[in-house]
Structure 1
Amino acid sequence: MRYPPDQKAKARAAMVEAGAKALRRKGFNGIGVDGLASAAGVTSGAFYSNFPNKEALLQEVIETSLGEPFVASQGTVLERRQKLKEWMALYFSVDHRDSPDTGCVMPALSVDVARASHDVRVAYTERINFLVAKIAEVVEGDTRERERKAWNIIALMIGSVSAARAMSNQQSAETVLGFALASAMAQIE
């Protein structure tokens, strides 16, 4: 039986998407190749025909997921600034805190990336730098000030969501996220 020409690419994309959800939810060390393959609805053999190891999947997740949807936004500086504000409002939310499997990879996987191979850390660094550049394009100030603001926003994103996920009660989590959102918005304006 012949498969459509794009079947392999679609299967790989499905593995990356399912793998991203599973890695965000369980962490890199919380799930093995069999679990990742199962989450994607494929066999371990199919996994290995697309990725030499689990770190290769992690690297692709980082390369394709970090910073979405903001990095894909287009339009004038003011329109992209508005998109950044809208993204921040969603990012610093209880819904995001409570949904690590569909949320941003930064707070979910940064600790795992720090323990990963050099290649994974390089991919993460490149993607974070790209996100910083995209944010710096739309905030106010001279070049150095815009870069500082963008890094402040990234630090708020990773730190506050990670902290909010570790909080034992809703009120504390909402406080952390509320203050982080206010600080991020102040950096944008």
Structure 2
Amino acid sequence: MRYATDHKQQTREKLLSSSGALAKRGGFAATGVAGLMKAIGLTGGAFYNHFPSKDDLFSEIVRRELANSPLARLVERGTDRARLKRLLDQYLSLAHLHNAEGGCPLPPLGVEIARAERPVREQAEHWLLELHQAWSETLDDPDLAWALLSQCVGALVVGRMLASEPVQAQVLDASRKLVEQVFDEVR
């Protein structure tokens, strides 16, 4: 049986999408090649037709997930403070907290990125520096940009660690209040 000319690319795309979701849901390191391929209905051996190694797949997942992150919308130059605040309010929501698979990759993948090979960390650093630069321009304060970024990502990490939604909501509410205070002072 012959496959369509774009079959390999379609399979690669399915593998990337599925693996990104699996990584953000349960951790990338914890899922073997066989499990990644089983999720798209193929055998483990077919994996190497698409990526030389599992590390190469992770690198591509990180690149793709960061580029599609909710925070990526805030890399645009010229974002005004009102828009940044609105997007941070959305970021610090229960809906986002409960959507690890479709949300920002930093909270669920941050530790794995930190443990990854240097090229993956460099890729993440490059993206974070772009985000930082955009926020620095919007806020007119590079230190505040790092602090807000860390606060928002950290709030999601802590919120996801908690078992009860009311306590998760308290963490997110406290973080939104802090962001609100910062924006009131920055005016």
Short-chain TM bin: 0.7 to 0.9
Q: Counterparts in 2 of 1:164-183, with a 5 A limit?
A: 164-183=159-178
CA contact (8 A) 1:156 1:180 kept: yes
Instruction: Work out the number of aligned pairs and report it.
Output: 182
TM-score norm. by structure 1 comes to 0.82
Deviation at 1:187, TM superposition (A): 4.3
Deviation at 1:2, TM superposition (A): 4.8
Q: Counterparts in 2 of 1:11-160, with a 5 A limit?
A: 11-66=11-66, 68-72=69-73, 77=78, 81-137=81-137, 139-141=138-140, 145=141, 147-160=142-155
**Once superposed, which parts of structure 1, at least 4 consecutive aligned residues long, lie more than 6 Å away?**
73-76
String of CA shifts for 1:5-64, please: whole Å, max 9, x gaps. Answer: x43333222211111100011112321111111223333233222122222222111111
| 1: CA distance, partners of 2:77 / 2:54 | 39
Deviation at 1:85, TM superposition (A): 3.0
Which blocks of at least 5 consecutive residues in structure 1 are unaligned? none
TM-score norm. by structure 2 comes to 0.83
String of CA shifts for 1:51-102, please: whole Å, max 9, x gaps. Answer: 2222222211111112624435798835x54443333222111122222122
State the one-letter code of the partner of 2:157. Answer: S
| 2: CA distance, partners of 1:8 / 1:28 | 22
CA contact (8 A) 2:155 2:175 kept: yes
Q: Structure 2 vs 1, CA of residues 42 and 126 (structure 1 numbering), >3 Å: closer, same or farther? A: farther
Give secondary structure in 1 for the equivalent of 2:101: coil
**CA-atom RMSD in angstroms:** 2.5
Deviation at 1:168, TM superposition (A): 2.6
Deviation at 1:131, TM superposition (A): 2.0
CA contact (8 A) 1:70 1:83 kept: no
CA contact (8 A) 1:71 1:134 kept: no
| 1: CA distance, partners of 2:98 / 2:75 | 29
State the one-letter code of the partner of 1:153. Answer: L
State the one-letter code of the partner of 1:179. Answer: A
Q: Structure 2 vs 1, CA of residues 170 and 28 (structure 1 numbering), >3 Å: closer, same or farther? A: same
CA contact (8 A) 2:70 2:91 kept: no
Give secondary structure in 1 for the equivalent of 2:14: helix
Which blocks of at least 5 consecutive residues in structure 2 are unaligned? none
Give secondary structure in 2 for the equivalent of 1:52: coil
CA contact (8 A) 2:92 2:176 kept: yes
